[in-house]
Structure 1
Amino acid sequence: MKLKFPLIAAFAAMLALTACGGGGSDDNKPVVSSPATLTKTDITVGTGAEAITGKRVTTQYVLWLYDDKAANFKGKELEKGELPAYVIGSGRVIPGYDQGVIGMKVGGKRTVLIPSNQAYGPAGNGPIPGNSGLVYEITLTKVE
């Protein structure tokens, strides 16, 4: 009979802890934030042909999720590579990427902060959560 109270107390404590949600962490969830406006910052100004609407361009890029608490706003790196040639303004890329390339010259390198409404919006896309801003580092390699 003397054991009844400690057993009840232990059971109540265990029940209270499980009701707290188990102490899980959301550390693996990406930070969802977005810049207010599209921002272009040239790292290297190119000297070749200029990218304008209607021209076919080839670019290399690195893509990060925008994180307003990270250095240079570069959160989690998502991918890098070369984008197949496309015509600026054709709708083949997100609007923010198109806008980010316009005005660059071949050989130029630029960082572009893209708000979510010029990226994938509330729906997101694959590893990009909805309402996420993006950071692209773009190198313009060819204009035709």
Structure 2
Amino acid sequence: MATPRSQRIGIWIITVVLAVGTFGSFLVMALSVQNQSIDQQDQYQQYLDQQKEAAKLNAANSDVLAGYSVTPFTDSSITQLKVDVLEEGSGDVVKATDSINASYFGWLSDGTIFDSSKKKNAEDTPITFSLAGVISGWTEGLTGIKVGSTVRLSIPSDKAYGVTGSGIIPANAPLMFIVKINKIDNSTKA
């Protein structure tokens, strides 16, 4: 028995409506995913901009430690990690797995101080951190140094922030730090 013509037309209409609806749904989903991706990119860029602004404010408020100053250097002069002991301490030897309490300041080759435990018009506020959670130049450079020591770290970019940079620190920038190790404080370890 053959289906009547009106029934075949109805089946075709239903098929076309389903096909158009399915195609439309896929189109809406694709546009939604694309819009979400654009929104995520915008949010990430805003986050990066906020991080850079915070780094600029931190740098503007950073100061040198008493008795020390920024020493000039060129990017090409720092090709490997160098540790200069400025003042030898007499305490325990720092291990790479330790958390330490330290006073410090760091600068770029143009003399810009980008971070410091000493803020302008304020007392030095040493920080406690795990050597496992900092740039490799700090971990390698401070391992084996005695508590109470003050060192100058000359850190090549590959042991600092590398090709990505961080905040106001440009990509491929070598760094210099003056670091005074105040104590080992493993009470902060997880």
TM-score by length of 2: 0.51
The residue type paired with residue 75 of structure 2 is S
Unaligned runs of 5+ in 2: 1-72, 118-124, 186-190
- Decide which structure has greater helix share: 2
Unaligned runs of 5+ in 1: 1-30, 68-74
User: Is the Cα contact below 8 Å between 2:106 and 2:116 reproduced in 1?
Assistant: yes
- Please provide the CA RMSD for this pair: 1.9
Q: How do 1:112-131 residues align onto structure 2 when only pairs under 5 Å count?
A: 112-131=153-172
Aligned residue for 1:129, secondary structure, equals coil
Pair 1:132-2:173 in alignment: yes
Distance in 2 (CA, whole Å) between partners of 1:64 and 1:135 is 6
Match of 2:137 among 96, 111, 118: 96
2:114 match: 78
1:106 match: 147
2:93 match: 50
Q: Which has the higher contact order (CA 8 A, sep 6+)?
A: 1
TM-score by length of 1: 0.66
Between the aligned residues of both structures, percent identity stands at 29
Pair 1:40-2:40 in alignment: no
Match of 2:105 among 47, 62, 68: 62
Q: What per-residue deviation string (whole Å, max 9, x for no partner) do you get for residues 118-138 of structure 1? A: 001111100100000000100
**After the TM superposition, which parts of structure 1 deviate over 4 Å for at least 4 consecutive aligned residues?**
none
Aligned residue for 1:122, secondary structure, equals coil
Aligned residue for 2:95, secondary structure, equals coil
Query: Larger radius of gyration, structure 1 or 2?
Result: 2
User: Is the Cα contact below 8 Å between 2:155 and 2:174 reproduced in 1?
Assistant: yes
Q: CA deviation at 1:77?
A: 1.7
- Decide which structure has greater strand share: 1
Aligned residues: 105
User: Is the Cα contact below 8 Å between 1:107 and 1:141 reproduced in 2?
Assistant: yes
